[in-house]
């Protein structure tokens, strides 16, 4: 007969802590990208004026590629207009543009990172958060 393991309070607390750490890391990384890029990086690309809040857009979708969701190379500052109407509505053009924007070396490095499986745990999240000061 198998013994059932009781969940200890410590395990439950650390399980609840991971989503909080991810939320904090997301906030910090997005803030960093907005400060790093300062303006929409796609400005002038499609002949349209920039409009709206500067956001940290993910090159590889954060929901699908959770292993690189906090990777700064995977984020680019785009205004609301370019994020929605260029990035999401024109994926082929946006893909070609981002290859030129990053350059071959960075693009290939990001592509390689996207293939590596990684599970975020408390320690790795804390380590990433420390990078932001």
Residue 38 phi, psi dihedral angles, 5° rounding? 65, -35
2-35 pLDDT, tens digit per residue, is 555 554 454 555 678 999 999 999 999 999 999 9
Those residues whose C-beta lies under 8 Å from the C-beta of residue 32, and which sit 6 or more positions away, are: 72, 132
What confidence score (pLDDT) does residue 118 get?
85
56-68 pLDDT, tens digit per residue, is 999 999 999 999 9
Packing angle, helices 91-102 and 104-115, rounded to 10: 110
What confidence score (pLDDT) does residue 8 get?
47
């Amino acid at each position: 007969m198998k013994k059932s393991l009781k969940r200890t309070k410590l395990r439950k607390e650390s399980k609840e802590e991971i989503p909080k750490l991810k939320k904090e890391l997301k906030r910090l990384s997005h803030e960093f990208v907005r400060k790093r890029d300062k303006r929409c990086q796609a400005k002038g690309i499609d002949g349209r004026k920039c409009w709206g809040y500067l956001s940290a857009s993910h090159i590889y979708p954060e929901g699908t590629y959770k292993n690189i969701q906090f990777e700064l190379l995977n984020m680019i500052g785009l205004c609301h207009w370019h994020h929605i109407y260029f990035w999401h509505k024109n994926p082929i053009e946006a893909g070609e543009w981002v290859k030129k924007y990053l350059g071959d070396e960075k693009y290939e490095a990001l592509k390689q990172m996207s293939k590596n499986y990684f599970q975020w745990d408390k320690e790795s999240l804390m380590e990433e958060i420390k990078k932001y000061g």
